[in-house]
Structure 1
Amino acid sequence: MGKYCFGVDVGGTTVKLGLFNTNGDLMEKWEIPTVTEDDGKAILPDCAKSILKKMNEREMDRTEVVGVGIGAPGPIDSEGTLYGAVNLGWGTMSLKKELQTLLNMPVEAGNDANVAALGEAWQGGAKGYEDVVVVTLGTGVGGGIIINGKMVAGATGAAGEIGHMHVNDDETEPCNCGNCGCLEEYVSATGIVRMAKRKLAEDDRPSLMRKDDLSAKDVWDAVKAGDTVAIEVAEDFGWYLGKAMALVANVSNPEIFVIGGGVSKAGNVLLDYIQKYFQKYAFKGCRGALFTLATLGNDAGIYGAARLVLK
């Protein structure tokens, strides 16, 4: 049995890599640029080179490495097949087989949001729990569902796409996915700003949010300062996300929800608004679910990727 494993998290601008021991301790982490030119042909070879270089530096033998886990933005099924990653230029390919060939080591692959969820469940906000739902509130909204300690990928790797749950029939502006009224349009960083601007446009009350370059952080800072209009935006945010989490709970019955991503930096104030509506809409048997904030930040992806090869 090897002593180490690597976790790789492929993002649009950088690839994060981590070296772990098999107990899940992060020994070292580093980044390399994501070269998306030429349909992202260099990305996997660059990852392989970086891992082999690190092994060389540390005088590690292949027998000491259990394997390499990789998370990437796009649907990836349980066999490690990726069904396209638009922002990387990748089409359908076996991520697992391609990296395995380059490294001559065992490889496991998963969708980046699902993998980050696995990381939070393993060593982060949900450590010690087996049934976990992670929601990532960033520029978009990602999600991951962990049942019995295992990541749920679904038939085509699209399980856990919580951000694209339909929550508003009256929405006319399309989401990035092409549909209208997705959860992402209201609870992502851009969605929160959009809701705030809509409210400010139809209301002439004074507000701390009346400023150029309004950000999601500004909205939550205004909520904490007791701004009435901002509090109404927070209520709307809580209604959308709390209700959506209730629907997710009715299907997956998690022990705990972990809220991560840039928006979660606002802290516990977020959870109060979400839980209020979650309790209102969830089925009685699911209402005991706990809510917590993610703790691994940008490292969740490398932790989860490493976990893929240790399962």
Structure 2
Amino acid sequence: MKYNSPRIKILNKKTILKVVHENHPLSRSDISEITGLTPSSVTRLTKELIDEGYIREIGTMGKNSPGRRRVLLDLKKEAFLSLVFDIGVNITTYGIGFFDGEVELRGTFNTPKNPEEFFKTAREIYERISREHSITRISFSVPGMVDLEEKKILLAPNLGWENVNIEDLLEVDVPVLADNEANLSMLAEKYHSEDLRNVEEAVFIIIREGVGTGLMVDGKIFRGPSFTAGEAGHMTVNMYSDRQCHCSNWGCWELVSSINWAIEQYGKELEGKNSIEKFQALKQKNDAKRVLMRFAENIAVGIVNLVNILNPELVILGGEVVDLGDSFFSIIEDFVRQRALKAAVRNLKIRPTAFRNISSNLVGAAVLAVEDIIEKVK
């Protein structure tokens, strides 16, 4: 209907941008085939997106008819930049996110325990970087529960932060975004990993000073109505435990599957200023093999529960365990296949994250900014 045409046009432009973001580079005929839009509509709308600075032509490739080569389209990488932060319990990393979801690392700083001080530091970094680059979004990865709509950190147990309104503390003139670190890791994998293209159900487990899980259900990140879905690190695995978690519960999975557990169990002096550095030192110790084996089994216990409950096709492990090698992951996989329901593991794949030189959740923060930019297309 006529009165709906402007809205439909905007929806079609967003659809094209999403397709280019997920599959770039590709031709107009590829876009038409994927979206179902007519070739003439794709030609018209891609011209608008080029004129508006979202995409660009980058050359030709192959032939789709005699004598005619396909013109390839790609995102205009530098068109929309975001400032992205990975808030760690001890160290915060930040960088510049590009419109194609890639990230350029720019620095680190010790994470202040006071949220006011943290966001003051973040604002100062934004002010400095925005003198060099036009920043359109600021996006935060948080080790805790985040209300995406209110831009509020509901609870970050290992930081001791609760009900922190990011926009109020940051006080900047650009849109602010934030999400849980495991959700963002799942988002990064969804957009950058080939083996997730045809997967509808997946779990990302990030293991650092705490443990978080990002859930993909029906091909979408599942956050729950209260934004607390995926807090599997706080599921009870030992109801008789005398150890209390930072979340105030007892016997949480996180208590036996975070890097802090492995450090404590090793029981010897380790070099390092914080738990991340100490765990890096632990991984080099020949006499830590037994501790790391038990660590792998503890992680596997939680995965068994997640597999039985969610029946994912893929489980991805990230954080500080990605470089522990095949033997570590073999222990986890063997344990899961022995203990989980046989039908649930029949088609299950378990692997480390694809991101090795940069944290998956920092990349996810950049992708979150890209999604927001696309959503605001007119």
Q: Same fold (TM over 0.5)?
A: yes
Aligned to 1:207: none
Relative to 1, partners in 2 of residues 1:149 and 1:174: Cα closer, same or farther, differing over 3 Å?
same
Cα separation, 2, equivalents of 1:310 and 1:120: 14
Q: Is the 8 A contact 2:100 2:370 kept in 1?
A: no
Cα offsets for 1:26-56 (capped at 9, x unmatched): 24432345444xx432432432332243232
Partner of 1:201: none
1:33-87 Cα offsets, whole Å, 9 max, x none, are 5444xx43243243233224323213x3x6xx3x232122331123132224466
Note closer, same or farther for the CA distance 1:165–1:88 as it changes in structure 2 (3 Å cut).
Answer: closer
1:258, distance to aligned residue in structure 2 (A): 1.4
Matched, 1:156 2:223: no
Q: 2:364 maps to what in 1?
A: 304
**Match in the other structure for 1:275:** 333
Q: Is the CA contact 1:71–1:111 (under 8 Å) kept in the aligned structure 2? A: yes
CA contact (8 A) 2:184 2:361 kept: yes
Q: Secondary structure of 1:191's partner?
A: helix
Q: Which residue of 2 aligns with 1:259?
A: 317
Residue type of the partner of 1:172?
A: D
The higher radius of gyration belongs to 2
In structure 1, the partner of 2:307 is 249
Show the counterpart of 1:47: 122
Q: Normalising by structure 2, what TM-score?
A: 0.63
1:122-201 matches, cutoff 5 A: 122-123=191-192, 128=197, 131-192=201-262
The residue identity in structure 2 corresponding to 1:107 is: V
Structure 1 gaps of 5+ residues are: 198-211, 225-229
| CA shift in 2, pair 1:41/1:94, >3 Å | closer
Q: Is the Cα contact below 8 Å between 1:243 and 1:282 reproduced in 2?
A: no
Secondary structure at 1:266 match in 2 = coil
Deviations 1:135-163 (A, max 9, x none): 22233322222335543323333322222
1:18 shift after superposition: 1.8
Q: How far has the Cα of 1:165 moved from its partner?
A: 2.0
3-state SS in 2 of match to 1:76: strand
RMSD of the TM alignment (CA)? 3.4
Structure 1-normalised TM-score? 0.74
Check whether the contact 2:256–2:298 (CA below 8 A) recurs between aligned residues.
Answer: yes
Whether the 8 Å CA contact 2:203–2:214 is kept in 1: the answer is yes
- Offset of residue 181 of structure 1: 2.7
Matched letter for residue 94 of structure 2: L
Cα separation, 1, equivalents of 2:332 and 2:112:
38
**Residue aligned with 1:172, SS:** coil
SS of residue in 1 equivalent to 2:119: helix
Higher relative contact order (CA 8 A, sep 6+): 1
Percent identity over the alignment? 23
What are structure 2's unaligned runs of at least 5 residues?
1-53, 55-78, 271-277, 372-378
**1:158 and 1:261 mapped to 2: Cα distance?**
20
Cα distance 1:194–1:26, how it changes in 2: closer, same or farther (>3 A)?
Answer: closer
Residue number in structure 2 paired with 1:74: 144
Report the counterpart of residue 208 of structure 1 in structure 2: none
Report the counterpart of residue 213 of structure 1 in structure 2: 269
Amino acid at match of 1:78: L
Q: Which residue of 1 is the match for residue 94 of structure 2?
A: 17
Counterpart CA distance in 2 for 1:10 and 1:302 is 9
Instruction: Tell me the amino acid that sits aligned with residue 299 of structure 2.
Output: L
Distance in 2 (CA, whole Å) between partners of 1:147 and 1:250 is 15
Q: Partners in 2 of 1:53 and 1:196 — Cα distance?
A: 42
- Where does 1:60-71 land on structure 2 (aligned, <5 Å)? 60=134, 65=136, 67-71=137-141
Contact 2:186 2:215 in 1 (8 A): yes
Question: Aligned partner of 2:185: which letter?
Answer: A
Asked whether the equivalents of residues 158 and 210 of structure 2 are also in contact (C-alpha less than 8 Å), the reply is no
The offset of 1:308, in angstroms, is 1.3
Between the two proteins, the alignment pairs up a number of residues equal to: 281
